[in-house]
Structures are given as structure tokens and as C-alpha cells.
Chain A
């Protein structure tokens, strides 16, 4: 059960947003591979454009297959509404530009995904939107960072790649008391492990390319509006003043709990055109249906791998959110804190490269959240141009191996990693 549905999450994942359609009784959600929708009449078309009724006009704005996914994800997170986008990054960008205009300010966790940090630090800055990066779990720093022009506090539920768990109850308390919404990227958690809205967040963003889709087959993003923020508090004229391009609508007055997501559909989807394709929505829906089951196995494999790695010669350290160390981690993640872990391998940059070159079951690539185990050695790939010192400053030591633990039988993952560690030891001499 969530705030949106009285069904249990496993049932929501299978049924919400769709009943077998009347024409053919298709049990699976059909793929509406269409750009547009024939109007019943001139009057009906006029009603749709004038927001007198709901419905679909053009697939850049909405699409029936995508809408099922949106309604299902909204229900899984307990939100009032959702909108899917072409990727996780477009979901974030749409969120940022919907809430912020030139002169506005964002407070962000310093531990976030590199591309998101780049968007905040460089791209948005070109448009007059500035960001301060802080230790998000330091309440005093958060309080001090919020300014009169701050439009959001941004963090990741489990940070990429640092594995820091944001203390959401505390962050939300501080931000909401200051009249600022909390936007959280919950990609690493998924609603199967943690529903951020229940811990005080106001807007949840996902890269549904990852565990929600779960099979490495489709790129997509999603924004879920918690419906739990007072946009009428005087800080958000974007939500309360008439919006000339859309009937002079005042989104907060008109839509209340769904003001934010309706603004995104009316503005950002029109302007960015970052629509999720119906085919990708269908593929991701297949992943959603088994999300809860898959996450149980992902977490079980991760904990086994964490414990096994901790005892291996050739492993210098292992990092995974520790449920025993901090009370808020256990409170937020009773079913386990995701299936990402990092570890240090003997031999530094060379040892890491040897490990990666030797494993064969684990795929070496720049993605996470696949059904298959994925590994990445930042020092020899994404961060290879950086010096050792520069990497350490970014919190990424040369020996770091990032693992997205898959659904294979753990014995096979273990055997593959044992081969890699042996190679790393050899490289270390």
C-alpha cells in the first residue's frame, strides 16, 4: 500500500494504470506506437486543447503506453502524478528548469552523479542558476546554504558512486521548514527498497534505465510529484502566477497537488521534447512487473559479495551503505540499501585494470542497474585523464572498482571475481 493505492506494491507493479482494453482484450499493455490521436470532433479537439477534459493529443506531450508506466510509477512511489521522459538526465533537467529561473539558486549534495553535477555546475550556471554543493547530511550546513532565492534542495537517496545515504527525514525537515522542496534522485534505491515521499521528499526523480527497467534494454526517466508541497508559500511565482502560454493558468490554484507535474507536462515537455518512446515504455513496464522480486535477489547477491570481498586477499576496502552504522540508513532501507558496491583492489591503477581485463562474466561498461553484473574501473576509463591527486580529491581512489551486482547465481559471480582478484595480485607483483 502507498499513498496512491490500496494495493500492495507487487500488485501495483503488475496491474496499476491498465485494465484489458475493450477492443481486443490485450492482457499485456499495448504499445501505442503513434505520434498523434484522431479527434472525435472539432468540439472534442477544442475541449482537449482547452484542458476541459483529459486525453492525448500528441506523443511528445503524452501517450497511452507511457501513461500506464507513469501511473504505475506514481502509485509505486505514492505520488499524486508522474511524467516519464527520454532519460534520467532529461527528467532532472526538466525538474531544474521547471522550478528555477535566472537568478535562482539550488542547494545540492556534493555527492552526486557526475553528469548531474556538471549540469548544475556548468550548464545551469550559463542560464543564471547557481548551485552550492554541501555535505547534505550536515543539517547546519544545509540551513546555512538555503537563501531567499533557493528553489530546491537536491540529493540522491544513495549517492553515485560514493554510496552516501541521504538522511532524508532530517533534510526534508530543514528544507520544508524553510519553504523549499526536496528533490531526490532515487535511482539507486527504487521504490522496492525505499519510497522517499514517505520520508519527507517532495519530488522523486529516477533514471528508469537502471533497476526499474532492469534489463539494460531501454533508456528512460521519470519524475514523480509527491503532491505534498505548498507551492503557494510565496517562493514560487512560476506556480502561482498566470502562465501566459497555457491559458494564463495558475498551476497551484488549478491543480493543487499535481501543480508541479502539470507544469512540466505543459512547459518542459513542450519545450524540451524529451518524450519517452512508447516502445521503451513497454520494455520498462516489463521490468517494473518484476521489480520487487528482482531487487530482493539484487540485494541478496550484493550482501553476499560484500561479505565475501571483505575477506579476500587483494581487496583493500569495501564500501556499501552500512545499515548498522547510521540509524537513518536502517530506517530508510529495511530491505537493504541497493545493489551497488565499490571496493579497492591491490595494485592501484594497474591492479584495477588487471581485474577488469580478467573478469568475463561481469560486463565492463558505463551503466548500472542491469540484470547482469557490471563493473567499471574509473581510473582507467571515465577518470583516466585525471592525476592520482585529482581523483582522490573527487573521492575516487585509483584502486576503486564500481560494481552493479546482477542477478546471476552468486557462486558464478564469486568465481569470476576470484579470477579478477588473482590477476590484480599478479599485477601488483
Chain B
């Protein structure tokens, strides 16, 4: 579906079912250079099992209009307006990498809108090498090439795919190459408020991390989990791009967390 937020059109994937704000909603936030397709193998399950799903292409990305955020802080107020436009008062928030930083800003702005927060393949701070940012300014495609090399774990590098015939590395490269990576990476590099907000979260929260994550190394993810006061789910042998390279395992961990929260709040 399409919403207009800040006067710009926003494409929102809804998991193959019409969005119903009366159902418990799960909001999926993609990472740097990504789009709603990051969540292709998670959103449909939720949409067909009692939830409503919102997986937007953030401004300036893929099928959405507008300009990319120049700071993570900007994304917080945007997400508030986005949820209001979708008539959603509260949602389970799921963020991958940079998407989790945006989730933190949403929580800071309107904690009451967050039924729960789940961090996937991320950390409280995501420092970015200046050379990568400079490369992205010159060419998103070149930066995407570097990021996919680092971002995917050994299985994806060996061409293993949960969907027959597909190459997740090539799919991610194609998407990232067309999106405003430089702005995303700069926003991540500049963001320093994550630890404080993460430590303040009162809503149910969880982390799903991976042992072979080179973009946000496991030790940073574990530090985040400690700040959030939870025991993370750690997926063995996978890299940073968990929703794509370990879709079943990521979905299983997400389902368990969100369904538990939902059952307890019912």
C-alpha cells in the first residue's frame, strides 16, 4: 500500500494481506541501503497468522519517494507520523541494523507506541569506516559490493539459499546499488545516542545476533543485549544479513518473542 508521509509517497509492504490496523501490528525497519524485500520471508508469516504488517521502504529507498534521512534522529519523528498515518497506536517494532537505531529513536519520541522492540544483527552504535562512506558517495554500487562482502556470512558466500535458485548476495547488491547508501551510512556513523536509549527501554525487548557478523560484531551485539537487560538469541555461523541469509531461523526467533509478548499482553 502507499501512504503519504511528510508530503512524500511511502511504499509499504503488508505481507500479502490487506493492512488492518485493528490487528496487532508488526513494523519492520530495514537497514542501510535496504528495502521491504529484506523481510520477504518474515512478513508473510505474520500477516497470515493474526498480525498486520507494515514494512516500509524508508524515504528515498526503492519504491518510496522523498529524501533519505540525514540523521537517525530524523527517523524517529518520521516513524511517529508514519504510524499515525497508518492509524496504528502501538506496534511491535523489528529493526535490522540501521533499522534498529531508527526503532530506538521511535521509542525515545513515543515509547507508548512500542509494544515491543526486537533488534536484529545490530548494535547500539554502528561506526562506519570513512572509506566506505566515501566510496558510497562516489558510487552506491561500489559500496554495496564492499558491504555484501562483509555483510554476508560463509553460507551465503558459498551460494547457499533458502529459496531455490536464488543468490542472496546478488539480490542485496542489486537493491543497495540503487539506494542512498551514503546518506544511510553517514547517519549510522554519526549516531551516538543508542546506548542510552537502549538501556532505558521498558517495553519487552529482544536481540537476534549472529556469530559471523562482521558489520556489527557479536561482541557489540552482546553489549547491546546487556544494556537492554536480555539474553539474546545467537545464530551460529551466520553473518550480518540475518533476515536474508537465515530467514527461517530469524523468523522462528521473532515468532517466539512476539507471540509471547502478544499472549502476555492479551
A residues within 8 Å of B by Cβ?
3-7, 12, 15-19, 47, 50-56, 62-64, 66-67, 70-72, 74-75, 78-84, 227-228, 232, 247-249, 253-258, 261, 265
Contacts and interface: CB of A to CB of B under 8 A. Distances in A.
Closest 3 CB pairs of A and B: A16-B159, A54-B163, A70-B165
| Most chain A CB inside 10 Å of its own CB: which residue of B48, B170, B251 | B170
Nearest to A264: B165
B41 interface: yes
A110 B196 CA distance: 67
Contact of B44 (A51, A56, A228): A51
B169 A53 contact: no
Contacts of B175: 256-257
A257 B171 contact: yes
Nearest to A6: B149
A257 B155 CA distance: 20
A227 B162 contact: no
B16 A15 contact: no
Contacts of B158: 15-19
Contact of B45 (A12, A53, A54): A53
Contact of B16 (A75, A249, A256): A249
Contacts of B13: 253-254
Q: On chain B, which size bracket covers the interface? A: 20 to 34
A67 B165 contact: yes
B167 A4 contact: yes
A193 B66 CA distance: 42
A46 to B, nearest CB: 8
Contacts of A255: 37, 40
A50 B44 contact: yes
Nearest to B148: A6
Given A55-B162, A67-B165, A232-B63, A74 B44 contact: no
B170 A227 contact: yes
Nearest to B149: A6
A53 B251 contact: yes
Given A17-B160, A54-B164, A75-B167, 6 more contacts: A6-B169, A18-B158, A52-B251, A53-B248, A63-B164, A258-B171
A357 to B, nearest CB: 45
Given A50-B44, A79-B167, A5 B159 contact: yes
A239 to B, nearest CB: 13
A254 B63 CA distance: 11
Contacts of A6: 149, 157, 169
A227 B171 CA distance: 7
B85 to A, nearest CB: 19
27 contacts: A5-B157, A6-B169, A15-B158, A52-B41, A53-B248, A54-B161, A54-B162, A54-B163, A62-B165, A67-B161, A70-B164, A71-B159, A71-B160, A74-B170, A79-B170, A80-B171, A80-B174, A81-B166, A81-B167, A83-B165, A227-B170, A227-B174, A249-B16, A253-B13, A256-B62, A258-B171, A265-B164
Interface string B227-249: 00000000000000000000110
Nearest to A69: B165
A15 B154 CA distance: 12
Contacts of B155: 19
Given A7-B157, A232-B63, A256-B35, A53 B162 contact: yes
| Most chain B CB inside 10 Å of its own CB: which residue of A6, A12, A18, A55 | A6
A34 B33 CA distance: 40
B160 A82 contact: no
A4 B170 contact: yes
A82 B173 CA distance: 16
Nearest to B169: A4
A193 to B, nearest CB: 21
Contacts of A56: 164
Interface string B151-190: 0000101111111111101110111000000000000000
B28 interface: no
A12 B174 contact: no
A54 B166 CA distance: 10
B11 interface: yes
A52 B251 CA distance: 10
